[in-house]
């Protein structure tokens, strides 16, 4: 099969013909139609991701396509089913195998391109905002990197939960994308001070919950912009800087910082991930969630697709088609 291969950490990606992956019991072989591109792929191929895969490796953590073969013991799916799936690498290829607990059947109207970028971003934000941060209707949610892959889904899910959503992003165009997906207010952090604007929008109180996939200076601003007794959900460090947290501020303000890695729940609590994704698909069917794919590229251009994320030129998701 044709696949994108990372031959060594940090080396250029190659398009190669390789053997299809071996199907183990409990797994599902999928003919990949489209694969979602994640910031984490840039970390995986440079050896900086928290879950290590030894090179040569095929990147790609989510995909949509058609079930081609079922491993021993898999029930509830059949060959030909349209599905989306999450994998630990391997999606940037003509075929991938996924654990059956990471495979979700698609509703007819959800197309492969939208579905390919669906599970990681919506799954992360839905479980994170509900199960981890306990976001409630009427609360104020600040979402950083709000036009990015996970950020935009946090905006939509926050709004669907009845929160007042303040979106922050680098540039007026990106703020406009977040406003178009349900954010009630926007902050362009290239031009405006996050803390001052959040305080102004919350009558001086600050935000109840902050969703932070960016880290660095943006996280520091979150500590100032969060309300007393508020929660900060640590999603990621797209800025490249892992925040060092001054515990005195947490103590004085009664702030809770919540570490959160959605991928870990695929093993820790697969039933929770499945019910969360099922609710996301239900909300999509009700029109509450509107996947946004800014660029679609052919599989062979995986490297260019990853560059779009690194250069901050994408909004929502970038998807590779096979
Ligand atoms: N905890 C979890 O379970 C989980 C799940 C999924 C993703 N993540 C993490 O969340 C982060 C975002 O992932 P994603 O796939 O949504 O990425 P993405 O689509 O590329 O979005 C990242 C956003 O971060 C902002 N950003 C700030 N500084 C940046 C920089 N130096 N380079 C690139 N972007 C920068 C950009 O927004 P502006 O241009 O507006 O600043 C961009 O829209 C990553 O760190 C990823 O590993 C964590």
pLDDT attached to residue 61:
98
pLDDT attached to residue 52:
87
**In this structure, what is the dihedral angle of CA atoms 317, 235, 125, 123, given to the nearest 10 degrees?**
70
Handedness of CA 318, 279, 265, 68 (dihedral sign): negative
> Is 259's C-beta closer than 6 angstroms to any atom of ligand 1?
no
| Sequential pLDDT tens for the chain (322 residues) | 999 999 999 999 999 999 999 999 999 999 999 999 999 999 999 999 988 899 999 999 999 999 999 999 999 999 999 999 999 999 999 999 999 999 999 999 999 999 999 999 999 999 999 999 999 999 999 999 999 999 999 999 999 999 999 999 999 999 999 999 999 999 999 999 999 999 999 999 999 999 999 999 999 999 999 999 999 999 999 999 999 999 999 999 999 999 999 999 999 999 999 999 999 999 999 999 999 999 999 999 999 999 999 999 999 999 999 9
> Is 150's C-beta closer than 6 angstroms to any atom of ligand 1?
yes
> Is 145's C-beta closer than 6 angstroms to any atom of ligand 1?
yes
DSSP-derived letter for residue 301 is: G
DSSP-derived letter for residue 111 is: -
Q: Which of 51, 213, 272, 309 to mutate to test the pocket of ligand 1 (most atoms within 8 A of CB)?
A: 213
Ligand 1 centre from 316 Cα, in Å?
Answer: 10
Asked if the bond preceding 142 is cis, omega within 30° of 0, the reply is no
Ligand 1 centre from 86 Cα, in Å?
Answer: 18
> Is 143's C-beta closer than 6 angstroms to any atom of ligand 1?
no
What is the C-alpha separation between 299 and 83, in angstroms, rounded? 19
Ligand 1 centre from 305 Cα, in Å?
Answer: 14
Q: Of all protein residues, whose CA lies closest to atom 30 belonging to ligand 1? A: 239
What is the C-alpha separation between 254 and 206, in angstroms, rounded? 13
Tell me if the pTM is above 0.85.
Answer: yes
Ligand 1 centre from 23 Cα, in Å?
Answer: 32
Choose among 87, 48, 106: nearest CA to 277. 106
> Is 238's C-beta closer than 6 angstroms to any atom of ligand 1?
yes
C-alpha angle 101/106/108, rounded to 5°? 165
Specify the DSSP element, H or E, that contains 322.
none
Q: Which of 60, 152, 267, 312 to mutate to test the pocket of ligand 1 (most atoms within 8 A of CB)?
A: 312
Burial profile 176-198: b = 16 or more Cβ within 10 angstroms, e = fewer: bbbbebbbbbbbbbeeeebbebb
Going along the chain from its start, the domains and CATH numbers come out as 2-118+291-321 (3.90.180.10), 121-263 (3.40.50.720)
Choose among 183, 136, 186: nearest CA to 161. 136
> Is 128's C-beta closer than 6 angstroms to any atom of ligand 1?
no
What is the C-alpha separation between 208 and 225, in angstroms, rounded? 9
Q: Which of 174, 214, 269 to mutate to test the pocket of ligand 1 (most atoms within 8 A of CB)?
A: 214
Residue pair 19/55 in contact (Cβ under 8 Å)? The answer is no
DSSP-derived letter for residue 292 is: -
What is the C-alpha separation between 51 and 45, in angstroms, rounded? 11
Token pair recorded at residue 186 = 């926007």
Ligand 1 centre from 308 Cα, in Å?
Answer: 12
Q: Which residue has the tokens 């007026």?
A: 172
> Is 236's C-beta closer than 6 angstroms to any atom of ligand 1?
yes
What is the C-alpha separation between 38 and 5, in angstroms, rounded? 16
Residue pair 210/236 in contact (Cβ under 8 Å)? The answer is no
> Is 148's C-beta closer than 6 angstroms to any atom of ligand 1?
yes
What is the C-alpha separation between 67 and 178, in angstroms, rounded? 34
pLDDT attached to residue 63:
98
pLDDT attached to residue 2:
98
> Is 167's C-beta closer than 6 angstroms to any atom of ligand 1?
no
> Is 316's C-beta closer than 6 angstroms to any atom of ligand 1?
no
């Amino acid at each position: 099969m044709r696949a994108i291969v990372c031959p060594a950490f940090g080396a250029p990606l190659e398009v190669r013909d390789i053997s299809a992956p071996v199907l183990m019991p409990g797994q599902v072989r999928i003919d990949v139609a489209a694969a979602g591109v994640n910031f984490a792929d840039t970390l995986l191929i440079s050896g900086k991701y928290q879950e290590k895969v030894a090179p040569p490796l095929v990147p790609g953590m989510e995909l949509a396509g058609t079930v081609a073969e079922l491993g021993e013991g898999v029930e509830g799916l059949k060959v030909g089913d349209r599905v989306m799936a999450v994998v630990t690498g391997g999606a940037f290829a003509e075929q991938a195998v996924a654990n059956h607990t990471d495979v979700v059947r698609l509703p007819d109207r959800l197309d492969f391109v939208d579905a390919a970028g669906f599970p990681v971003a919506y799954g992360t934000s839905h479980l994170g905002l509900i199960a981890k941060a306990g976001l409630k209707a009427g609360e104020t949610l600040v979402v950083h990197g709000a036009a990015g892959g996970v950020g935009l889904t946090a905006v939509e899910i926050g709004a669907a939960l009845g929160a007042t959503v303040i979106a922050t992003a680098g540039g007026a165009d990106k703020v406009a994308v977040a406003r178009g997906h349900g954010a009630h207010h926007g902050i362009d952090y290239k031009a405006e001070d996050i803390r001052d604007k959040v305080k102004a929008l919350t009558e001086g109180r600050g935000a109840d919950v902050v969703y932070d996939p960016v880290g660095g200076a943006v996280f520091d601003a979150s500590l100032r912009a969060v309300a007393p007794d508020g929660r900060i959900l640590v999603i990621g460090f797209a800025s490249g800087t892992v925040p060092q947290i001054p515990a005195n501020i947490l103590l004085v303000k009664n702030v809770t910082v919540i570490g959160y890695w959605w991928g870990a729940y695929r093993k820790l609590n697969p039933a929770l991930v499945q019910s969360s994704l099922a609710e996301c698909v239900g909300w999509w069917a009700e029109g509450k969630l509107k996947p946004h794919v800014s660029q679609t590229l052919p599989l062979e251009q995986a490297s260019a697709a990853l560059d779009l994320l690194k250069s901050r030129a994408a909004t929502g998701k970038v998807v590779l088609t096979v």
